Amino acid sequence: MPSFATSPGTRDILAPDSARWRRFQQVFADVVETAGFGHIIPPMFEDLGVFLRVGESTEIVTKEMYDFEDKGGRRVALRPEQTASVCRAFVEHRPVTPWKVWYAGPNFRYEKPQQGRYRQFDQVGVEVLGVDDPQLDAEVIALGMEFYRRLGLTKVRLSLNSLGDSGDRDRYASALRTHFSSNIDALSAESRATLERNPLRVLDSKRAEDAQLIAASPRMADHLSPAAEEHFLQVQTSLRAAGVTFHVDDRLVRGLDYYRRTTFEFVSESLTAAHTAIGGGGRYDGLVADLGGPDTPGIGFALGLDRTLLACDAEGVFGAPQSRVDVFVVDATGGSEAGVICTELRTVGIGADRAYERRSMKAQMKSADRSGAPVCIIVGDDERNANTAILRTMEGGSQHIVQRDDLVAQVRRALGR
């Protein structure tokens, strides 16, 4: 028989870690729903064309897309991100603006798998369509920071930049092209290739040989139109008013072609070089129009769940939740008592588990230990005949006899509920 393991870049998330994932999404839902965001669940695959709008020069489109032809001859792709899907949904449903949505779920990118970088990875995120107000930019960014705070993270740094309007961005790109082209011999081979596709991305190069040229390159700040500059200043003023600490990094360009004006990145100072970015976002004022809709401004962010949990591990916060089993029932009479007691407890909301196959007392006590349940109920023939049970507190090991028809109340007391 062949045996199988998960494909490269994918993982099984097992308990108790899986409960941590669920809690992560719940905390996020809590933060954003109290800020007026509604949940959107876009499909996991759609027409490839939707995702091509992310940008012909991006890695997502050039290298990482999981696209294929389905049996009906449609060219589809597993979603590499969800912003494009949200914009497609906006054009399809034309909701009233401002349209504030949040999402959670897996994306797919054909990447080289490594710690913090997977082919199936989860994100949570928000998008707001239809509002240009810089106060919104600050609010969206502050929500991201608030979420990290709720997880218990304290070492998240916020980098902020403005890429200007599309005209500014184009002028800046050509200034960069001129700068790098006239020093082309000093540039790494990789950056030379990047320069062809997208001069802004050269600023992302982490190669030592490029550092000097990058440091001497023209600055985005000098290419902002007055309107974009004013917008950016107001975002900063609103962030300060909201008490959000940030630093302006005018080398921050971010991967996607559709960004305009405000861009930002959340960086964990507790992670090491390869994957310190735990989330990012920005304005994408051209994307809805690119997808065939009316000219509509948009802003949002996506936070990587996998990487954020690595940051939580590094900071020692937001651990896996405790087992939900409150009581383990050990039954030496054959098992039917355990079945009855478990049902009785579960019905009133007390988590209960048991052993099977008439295991020995010793084996059942071992299972009780492993279950993590703070309380154990033991029933033997004597107890069953006397209509009693033994209630044992696992920590400390004290135990006493309780009446069978008083069992639920006694368990509640032992659990402190």
Contact footprint for ligand ATP (CB under 6 A): 81, 109, 111, 116-118, 121, 123, 255, 277-280, 302, 304, 306-307
Q: Report in angstroms how near the CB of residue 307 gets to ligand ATP at its nearest.
A: 4
| CB of residue 317 to ligand ATP, shortest distance in Å | 17
Of residues 250 and 344, the one with the C-beta less far from ligand ATP: 250
Pick between residue 95 and residue 106 the one whose CB is nearest to ligand ATP: 106
> Token digits for 324?
């939900």
* Closer to ligand ATP by Cβ: residue 254 or 354: 254
Query: Residue 308 or 364: which CB sits closer to ligand ATP?
Result: 308
Nearest distance in Å: CB 6, ligand ATP: 15
Element (H, E) at 85: helix 83-93
Q: How far is the CB of 98 from ligand ATP (least distance, A)?
A: 22
Contact 229, 248 (CB under 8 A): no
For ligand ATP, the nearest residue by Cβ is 304
Q: How many CA atoms lie within 13 A of 354 on its CB side?
A: 24
Residues 253 and 201 sit within 8 Å (Cβ to Cβ): yes
What are the residue ranges of helices labelled H in 105-249? 134-151, 166-181, 189-197, 199-202, 208-215, 226-241
Q: Which is nearer to ligand ATP, 159 or 371 (CB)?
A: 159
Nearest approach in angstroms of CB 416 to ligand ATP is 39
Q: How far apart are CA 307 and CA 146, in angstroms?
A: 17
DSSP state of 148: H
Specify the 3-state DSSP secondary structure of 78. strand
Task: For residue 393, give both structure tokens.
Answer: 């507190």
DSSP 184: G
Alpha-carbon torsion, ordered 307, 312, 314, 317, to 10 deg: -170
Tokens of 198: 């997208």
The least CB distance from residue 360 to ligand ATP, in Å, is 46
Nearer to ligand ATP, 172 or 258 (CB): 258
| HEC assignment per residue over 357-383 | CCCCHHHHHHHHHHHCCCEEEEECHHH
Q: Which is nearer to ligand ATP, 307 or 354 (CB)?
A: 307
257/326 with CB nearer ligand ATP: 257
CB of 79 to ligand ATP, least distance (A): 11
Quote the least distance from Cβ 346 to ligand ATP, whole Å.
Answer: 37
Label residues 120-150 b or e (16+ Cβ within 10 Å = b): bbbbbbbbbbbbebbebbbbbbbbbbebbee
- Closest distance between ligand ATP and the C-beta of residue 4, in Å? 22
Q: Dump the DSSP string for 218-281.
A: --GGGG--HHHHHHHHHHHHHHHHTT---EE-TT---S-TT-EEEEEEEEETTS-GGG-EEEEE
Nearer of residues 260 and 307 to ligand ATP, judged by Cβ? 307
